C-alpha cells in the first residue's frame, strides 16, 4: 500500500535571490572543504602504497601447522582452516551455535517516507516547486521515527524496536597452530543462514518461521510486525598476511601504515597484495572524484546568484545557468588537478620532479619542432 501527497509552493524572484545570496557562504565552505580532502587523499594513497609495497617485499610464507620462532615479529603469509571451540549464544532467543561469528538481524515492518521535489520556472523569475511525499510499508533493520514525517496521521510507527540486531564473535579463533587477532576474525564474513532448533526459548509472541522467528502475521504483515533471522560463520578456509607475535597473528605495524590482509580460500601472497593495491587505487580515484565533485557543487552554489539575476528572463536564465555550471566544472577540474599535483610534489618530490622535468623536455621538443616547421620567408628579389 502506498500513500501519495503533493504540495506546491511558489518563490518570488526576490525570494530566490535572497536565498541564493545566503547560499554563497555555504557554497564557499563546501568548495574550501574539497581542498583538504584532495590533499589528505593523496597522502593517504601514497602512504598506503608504500606500506603495501614494503609488505610485499618483506612477507614470507609460513606453514600453519606449526609456529616457527624464527618468524617472530615478521610479516608472514599463511593459509588454513580457521576454527573455534567456542559456543556463541544469543540468550534473548536461546540460540547457541559453535561458530566463528553469529549474526542476529532484526527487522520491523514500518512506514517509510520518500520525498522528491521538482521545480519549474515561471514568468518574472518566479519558481514553482512541487514536493511529493510517498509513504510505503517496508521492512527496516532500524527504527524509523514517524514523528518526523510531513504527514504523520495514518503513518505512525511503533515508538521503538523491541530488539536490535546483534553480532557475536568467538574470542579464540585458531588457524592451525596460530591464534587469530580480532581484526582478522572481523574480516571472515562467509555468513550462511542459520536455522535455530525448535526447542530454543524465544520471547513471548514469537513463532518459528522460515530461517528464524516471526511476531505478527507473516501471510499479511502489519505495521509493528517483527522478523528475526540468524546467520553464522562456521569453520572457513582463509589466507592471511599479518605479523607473527608468539603463537598469534596480529596487525602488522609498518612505518607508514598497517597490514592485516585476509581472503577467503587459498590465495597466494602476491595476489593478495595485488588486490589490496587495486582496492587502494579504486579508493584513491573515488575520493578524487568526490573531492572535485564537492568543489564543483560549492562553486556552482557560489555562482547561483548570477543565474537567479538572469532568470527574470527564463530563456536567458537557462543560458546563464548552463554557463555557470560549465565554468564551475572547468574551475573545479583545474583547481582539483592543481591540488593533486601540488600534493604529489609535497609527498613524492623526487617522482613529481621527474615528471615535471619530463613534461618540460616534451614541451621544449614540441616548441623546437614547431619552430623548425615554420616556413622560412623568401628573400625579396632585385626590383
State pLDDT tens for residues 13-48.
666 667 777 878 888 898 999 999 999 999 999 999
Q: Is the pLDDT of residue 165 over 90?
A: yes
Range name among 79-88, 194-203, 372-381 with the lowest pLDDT average: 372-381
What's the mean pLDDT in 133-147? 94
Report how far apart, in Å, the C-alpha atoms of 183 and of each of 173, 240, 243, 260 are: 11, 11, 12, 7
Q: How far apart are CA 198 and CA 210, in angstroms?
A: 11
Record the cell numbers describing residue 243, joined without a space: 605479523
| Closest C-alpha among 197, 130, 327 to residue 319 | 327
Range name among 19-23, 323-327, 342-346 with the lowest pLDDT average: 19-23
Q: Is the pLDDT of residue 383 over 50?
A: no
What's the mean pLDDT in 345-356? 69
Q: Is the pLDDT of residue 170 over 90?
A: yes
Q: How far apart are CA 358 and CA 351, in angstroms?
A: 11
User: Which residue did the predictor score with more confidence, 198 or 305?
Assistant: 305
Q: How far apart are CA 303 and CA 326, in angstroms?
A: 11
Q: Is the pLDDT of residue 375 over 60?
A: no
Report how far apart, in Å, the C-alpha atoms of 377 and of each of 284, 374, 380 are: 52, 9, 9
Contacts (Cβ under 8 Å, ≥6 apart) of 51: 254, 255, 256, 257, 258, 259
Largest CA distance in the chain: 118
Q: Which of 119-123, 322-326, 348-352, 371-375 has the highest mean pLDDT?
A: 322-326
Report how far apart, in Å, the C-alpha atoms of 116 and of each of 20, 130, 136, 154 are: 21, 8, 14, 20
Q: How far apart are CA 192 and CA 198, in angstroms?
A: 19
Grid cell 546467520 is found at 231
Report how far apart, in Å, the C-alpha atoms of 374 and of each of 367, 369, 370, 371 are: 11, 9, 6, 5
What's the mean pLDDT in 97-101? 95
Contacts (Cβ under 8 Å, ≥6 apart) of 93: 104, 196, 200, 201, 202, 203, 206, 213, 228, 230
Q: Which of 8-17, 51-60, 318-327 has the highest mean pLDDT?
A: 51-60
Q: Is the pLDDT of residue 344 over 90?
A: no
What's the mean pLDDT in 273-290? 95
In what helix (H) or strand (E) does residue 318 lie, and over which residues does it extend? helix 314-347
What is the reported pLDDT for 357? 64
Record the cell numbers describing residue 52, joined without a space: 603495501
In what helix (H) or strand (E) does residue 293 lie, and over which residues does it extend? helix 269-302
What is the reported pLDDT for 224? 94
Q: How far apart are CA 173 and CA 90, in angstroms?
A: 19
Question: Are 73 and 89 within 8 A, CB to CB?
Answer: no
Grid cell 625579396 is found at 380
Q: For residue 279, what pLDDT band results from cuts at 50, 70 and 90? A: very high
Q: For residue 176, is it left (φ>0), alpha (ψ between -120 and 50) or beta?
A: left
Amino acid at each position: 500500500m502506498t500513500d501519495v501527497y503533493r504540495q506546491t509552493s511558489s518563490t518570488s524572484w526576490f525570494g530566490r535571490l535572497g536565498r541564493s545570496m545566503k547560499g554563497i557562504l555555504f557554497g564557499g565552505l563546501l568548495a574550501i572543504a574539497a581542498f583538504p580532502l584532495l590533499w589528505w587523499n593523496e597522502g593517504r594513497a601514497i602512504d598506503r602504497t608504500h606500506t603495501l609495497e614494503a609488505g610485499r617485499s618483506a612477507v614470507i610464507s609460513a606453514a600453519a601447522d606449526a609456529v616457527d620462532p624464527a618468524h617472530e615479529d615478521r610479516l608472514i603469509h599463511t593459509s588454513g582452516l580457521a576454527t573455534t571451540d567456542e559456543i556463541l549464544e544469543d540468550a534473548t532467543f536461546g540460540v547457541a551455535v559453535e561458530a566463528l561469528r553469529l549474526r542476529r538481524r532484526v527487522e520491523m515492518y514500518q512506514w517509510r517516507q520518500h520525498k522528491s521535489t521538482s521545480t519549474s520556472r515561471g514568468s518574472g523569475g518566479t519558481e514553482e516547486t512541487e514536493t511529493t511525499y510517498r509513504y510505503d510499508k517496508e521492512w527496516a533493520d532500524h527504527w524509523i521515527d514517524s514523528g518526523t514525517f510531513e504527514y504523520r496521521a495514518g503513518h505512525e510507527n511503533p515508538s521503538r524496536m523491541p530488539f536490535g540486531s546483534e553480532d557475536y564473535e568467538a574470542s579464540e579463533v585458531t588457524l592451525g597452530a596460530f591464534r587469530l587477532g580480532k581484526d582478522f576474525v572481523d574480516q571472515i564474513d562467509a555468513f550462511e543462514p542459520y536455522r535455530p532448533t525448535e526447542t530454543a526459548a524465544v520471547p513471548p509472541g514469537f513463532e518459528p518461521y522460515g530461517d528464524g522467528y516471526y511476531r505478527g502475521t507473516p501471510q499479511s504483515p502489519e505495521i509493528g510486525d517483527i522478523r528475526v533471522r540468524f546467520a553464522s560463520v562456521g569453520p572457513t578456509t582463509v589466507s592471511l598476511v599479518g605479523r607473527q607475535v608468539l603463537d598469534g597473528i596480529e596487525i602488522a605495524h609498518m612505518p607508514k601504515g598497517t597490514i592485516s590482509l585476509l581472503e577467503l580460500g587459498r590465495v597466494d601472497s602476491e595476489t593478495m597484495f595485488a588486490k589490496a593495491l587495486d582496492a587502494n587505487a579504486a579508493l584513491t580515484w573515488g575520493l578524487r572524484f568526490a573531492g572535485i565533485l564537492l568543489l564543483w557543487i560549492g562553486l556552482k552554489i557560489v555562482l547561483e546568484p548570477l543565474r537567479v539575476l538572469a532568470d527574470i528572463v527564463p530563456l536567458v536564465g537557462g543560458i546563464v545557468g548552463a554557463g555557470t555550471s560549465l565554468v564551475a566544472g572547468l574551475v573545479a577540474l583545474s583547481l582539483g588537478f592543481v591540488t593533486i599535483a601540488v600534493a604529489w610534489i609535497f609527498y613524492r618530490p623526487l617522482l613529481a620532479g621527474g615528471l615535471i622535468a619530463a613534461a618540460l623536455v616534451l614541451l621544449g621538443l614540441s616548441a623546437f619542432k614547431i619552430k623548425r616547421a615554420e616556413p622560412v620567408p623568401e628573400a625579396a628579389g632585385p626590383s
